[in-house]
Structure formats: structure tokens, C-alpha cells
Amino acid sequence: METEVFEKKAIISKEEFLDMQSQSEKVWEYDKGEIVEINRMKSRELFVISKLNRKFIQTQAFKELGELFQEVDCWLTETQMRRPDLAFFTKEQILQSAQGKHPIPAFVIEIISENDNVNYTENKVLEYQHAGVQVIWHIYPELKLAKVIRGKEARYYEENETFDASPVVPDFQISIAELFAQ
């Protein structure tokens, strides 16, 4: 969902990017001076987000005031900002962000559509990992499967298999059947 690259612009500063972003209704990511327009969440993907949010609110992390935020700016480095479809932040990280800091989420979710560029998507996995993200979920609504990436290990889940966000949010788990049931 997030990675169809529409247009790359000339190299601009972070300040120019932030100014441009504040004046635009488009969604952008920033990568070492280049800006890339990305797709907004599609309305047909809302059912996936809804299912995930409803499961997340049952976790201990939620009870401890952690949150899953949708399409939030995640500054992975001083010169690289990505917008995962969902990103988990602890209460402490939320308080840090209120002080102008840019904490790195330990867990992100990307919803992958047929328009996503595989090279761009896989490169983001490496970027997330280099920044310290421990668990990455790729959800494929068209295929009704999920890929969970932990470190160098990746595994696909399908049909009645259940996957989780351990070690970050170990009690955040859902089966493929439950995720895609309508």
C-alpha cells in the first residue's frame, strides 16, 4: 500500500521538505534529500486496520498506554523519514515525541498492495532494521497472507496460522483467518 513511487524530486533540505509537507495534501517520505510521493491508505484496506486495532487493544502494551499509530512520520535517521502504515510506540516513546524527539518504533506494519514496488518495500525493511525496528509485519490483503520479519528471519503465514509481534508485543497475535474474515 505504501510504496508506489510516483515521482522523485530534486535533492532538497530537510527544512524545505518539512515546509513543503506542511503545505501539501499529498503524502511523502524523505530519504537523504529526495522526496517520494507515496500512496495514501486505500479505503478497502480499512478492514485490516480495524481488525489489527481491535486485537491490539486487548494487549498488555495497550493497557500500559502503548499505541499503534497510523501513517505517522518515523524519522529513522536525521535524513530519512518513513511512514509505516502502523507503528507501535510505548508510553515512554509517546512522551519523548511530545518533547520533540523522534523515537524509533520497535514494531511496524505495512499493508502491501498490488501497486507496491517490491524493491522499494524490501529496501524499507533494511532501513527499518538498521534503525532498530525489531518486528515488521507485511500484510497482503489480496493474497490473504502475512510475512513476519524478525532480524534476518522472515516467515509467511497463511490460512489458519497465527502470527504475533513477539518479542515487542508478545500477546499481539492474530490468525490469517481472523484477520481476513469479513
**Residues facing residue 182 across a β-bridge:** none
What CATH number has the domain bearing residue 109? 3.90.1570.10
User: Domain of 135?
Assistant: 42-180
Tally the domains of the chain: 1
Q: Is residue 105 reached through a cis peptide bond, with omega within 30 degrees of 0 on the bond before it?
A: no
Q: Compute, in degrees rounded to 10, the torsion defined by CA atoms 118, 112, 136, 78.
A: 70
In a domain, 68, yes or no: yes
Residue pLDDT tens, the chain, 182 long? 444 444 445 676 767 766 666 666 566 666 667 766 666 666 668 889 999 999 999 999 999 999 999 989 999 998 888 999 999 999 999 999 999 999 999 999 999 988 888 998 999 999 999 999 999 999 999 999 999 999 999 999 999 999 999 999 999 999 999 999 98
Interstrand relation of 107-111 and 145-150 (parallel, antiparallel or unpaired):
unpaired
The pTM of this model reads: 0.81
C-alpha 62/C-alpha 131 separation (Å) is 23
Grid cell locating 41? 491508505
